[in-house]
Structure 1
Amino acid sequence: MSVLTLASAPEDATALQAAEAHHARLAGELAGRVRMLLTAVDRDPSTAEKIHTGLVAFCDRSLLPHAAAEEAALYPAAHGVPEARLLIESLIGEHRCLTALVDALRAAPGPAGAAADARALQVLFEEHMAKENGLVLPLLAMTPEVSLASLLTDMHHRLANDTGSNSAQDHHDTQEGQDMQEGQIEESGGCGGVCGCGGAEETAEPELDVREVPHALRHATVFGALDAVPAGTAMVLVAPHDPLPLLAQIEQRSPGTFAVEYLERGPATWRLRLSHR
Structure 2
Amino acid sequence: MTTRNETVAARIRAHHDAMARELDGRLDALVAAVRRGEPYRPALENVLQYVRQEILPHAAAEEETLYAAASRREAGRALVKGLTAEHGTIQETLRRLEGAGDALEAVALASALTALFISHAAEENDALLPVLMEEPAADLEALLEGMHERLAGAAPEAGGEAGPTGGAAGEEDGTPELDVRALPPFQRHQLIFATYEAMRPGQAFILVNDHDPKPLYYQFAAEHPGAFEWEYLEQGPEAWRVRIGKV
The TM-score bracket by the shorter chain reads: 0.5 to 0.7
Q: Quick one: distance in 2 between partners of 1:104 and 1:74?
A: 28
Which of residues 66, 74, 86 is equivalent to 1:82?
A: 74
Q: Give 5+ residue unaligned stretches, structure 2.
A: 157-185, 188-247
Pairing 1:29–2:22 present = yes
Q: Quick one: distance in 1 between partners of 2:73 and 2:56?
A: 25
Pairing 1:14–2:7 present = yes
Which of residues 101, 108, 123 is equivalent to 2:115?
A: 123
- Relative distance call for 1:111 and 1:159 in structure 2 (3 A) is farther
| TM-aligned CA deviation for residue 17 of structure 1 | 0.7
Which of residues 137, 143, 146 is equivalent to 2:135?
A: 143
Deviation track 1:142-181 (CA, whole Å, cap 9, x = no partner) reads 32111111111101111122269xxxxxxxxxxxxxxxxx
Deviation track 1:176-197 (CA, whole Å, cap 9, x = no partner) reads xxxxxxxxxxxxxxxxxxxxxx
Which of residues 35, 50, 58 is equivalent to 1:58?
A: 50
3-state DSSP of counterpart to 2:65:
helix
% of aligned pairs identical? 35
Which of residues 124, 128, 131 is equivalent to 1:132?
A: 124
Q: Quick one: distance in 2 between partners of 1:34 and 1:125?
A: 12
| TM-aligned CA deviation for residue 70 of structure 1 | 0.7
Q: Quick one: distance in 1 between partners of 2:103 and 2:43?
A: 8
Q: Quick one: distance in 1 between partners of 2:153 and 2:103?
A: 31
Q: Give 5+ residue unaligned stretches, structure 1.
A: 5-9, 165-211, 214-277
CA contact (8 A) 2:61 2:147 kept: yes
3-state DSSP of counterpart to 1:115:
helix
Matched length? 160
Q: State the partner residue of 2:204.
A: none
Deviation track 1:180-239 (CA, whole Å, cap 9, x = no partner) reads xxxxxxxxxxxxxxxxxxxxxxxxxxxxxxxx68xxxxxxxxxxxxxxxxxxxxxxxxxx
TM-score (norm 2): 0.61
Q: State the partner residue of 1:70.
A: 62
3-state DSSP of counterpart to 1:154:
helix
Letter aligned with residue 32 of structure 1: G
Deviation track 1:107-135 (CA, whole Å, cap 9, x = no partner) reads 11233321111111111111111111011
Which of residues 94, 101, 104 is equivalent to 1:109?
A: 101
3-state DSSP of counterpart to 2:135:
coil
